[in-house]
Amino acid sequence: AAHAWLTGRAGRYLAAWALPQFLLLTQGDLQVLKAEAEQLMLQVSRTFPEPEEIHRDSPPEPLPSPGSPWELQLCRQIRDVANSIQLFSGDVLWMFSTSCKRLSAEIFDQTMPLGRHWRLRPRAELPSSPSAYAAAAVQAVLGQVLQGAQALPHDAQVPTLARVTTAFLEAWMDHILTRRIKFR
């Protein structure tokens, strides 16, 4: 039930671009849930080992009783849920970076100038401030992610910000290559 709630809520937050809630849920709460599920799975594996988990090379130890069919079914369900949480934890950053890349691409398509804008004029000076399109794109994507990530522990901020920055820059490069923009 917790896994279904978590995946549904994360999807809704991401679709609504509610980044503080999405990041807190997926990079904060999910990590706690994942750690607890791993601990529970470890306890279950010690108490009710699967046949393939019993190593023949290890010294013989008294094996725990296999348990009732109900207990074995519960153990399988715990393992399945823990595996699902593990998979979702890996997929959620990919989903998020894909969403950020798509949003970045839309912003670049709408705001990035083309053609003559990038040709140097005879006495052109280097720009002293960022282009309006760049500032808008950074604020719309990276700025919102930075604000949303502030509530996370520092060790959870790094992978999130790294993935989003990579997605943002990939969208920018894809736009430049697709539109064949030449900087002269």
DSSP at 29: I
The domain locations on the chain are 2-55+63-118+128-179
Rounded to 10 degrees, the C-alpha dihedral 107/27/88/168 comes to 20
Question: Stretch 49-69: mean pLDDT, rounded?
Answer: 60
Q: What is the pTM of this model?
A: 0.73
Dihedral sign computed on CA atoms, order 52, 53, 55, 61: negative
Q: Round to whole Å and give the CA distance between 142 and 154.
A: 17
pLDDT digits (tens, 9 = 90+) for 83-137: 888 898 888 989 999 999 999 999 999 988 876 666 666 656 777 788 888 898 9
Of residues 68 and 102, the one with the higher pLDDT is 102
Neighbours of 92 (CB within 10 A): 20
Span 59-80, average pLDDT: 74
| Gap between the Cα atoms of 114 and 154, Å rounded | 39
pLDDT at 52: 58
Does the structure show a pLDDT above 70 at 27?
A: yes
